[in-house]
Amino acid sequence: MKLTIARVGIAAAILTLPAVASAQQVGVKAGANFASLTPEEDETPDTSRRVGLVAGGWLAVPATSWLTMQFEGLFSEKGVKFDATGIGLDSSAELRVRYIELPVLARVAVGGSGSTRVFLVGGGAPAFMTSTRATATFEGQKDSRDVTDEVESFDFGLVGGAGVAFGRTNLEARYTHGLRPINKDRNEPNDRVQNRVFSVTVGVRLR
């Protein structure tokens, strides 16, 4: 009897796999990150957002008519720019941090009509640093060096955003709030540098 029940359960699971697979959506996306870092304690540098590339793919699995789980794999450039011209120095610097980011998001449909849909996204984004480079310019002379060893290899951020889907095309804006300090040289509890990123992307659903 138990064997029969098990066989029925396995058969039912196999029969539902095509329906689940056909319900999944797969797509690609690309856009720009507008990234900055929180300053270290007692520092007030003249910083500006660094513009970097974000691109990758996503898999969406509908859970209900209004809720979808979305899994992404992204190449994401973060960092910050520093400018010392405000204090009379002809100098600037830039920190570029590259990550492989794996957001796990809940996507909630909140409105729309026809093929146009408005949605919200929220969730978490583990990120694995692949390289970090610091570039400085002083009186026209540029110097660049690898500082990967000075930055933590793992980060985790909270994600929130909104978007509009037009048929197969998605336009989305999101904010990622880094929770972990990425600098290894922190000496005090408040001596923390964290990622802050605003992203705008355009995506295309492939199926």
Proportion of the chain above pLDDT 90, given as a percent = 66
Whole-model pTM: value is 0.83
What residue type is 154 in one-letter code? F
Q: Express each pLDDT in 90-140 by its tens digit.
A: 578 899 999 999 999 999 999 878 789 999 999 999 999 999 999 988 877
Distance CA(33)–CA(175), nearest Å, equals: 9
Q: Which pLDDT belongs to residue 13?
A: 43
Q: Which pLDDT belongs to residue 29?
A: 98
User: Which range (7-16, 26-35, 63-72, 133-142) has the least confidence?
Assistant: 7-16
Type and span of the H or E element at 4: helix 2-23
Residue with the larger pLDDT of the pair 186 and 7: 186
Which domains, and CATH codes, for the chain? 25-205 (2.40.160.20)
Residue 85 per-residue DSSP state: G
Q: Tell whether the model's pLDDT for residue 46 goes beyond 80.
A: no
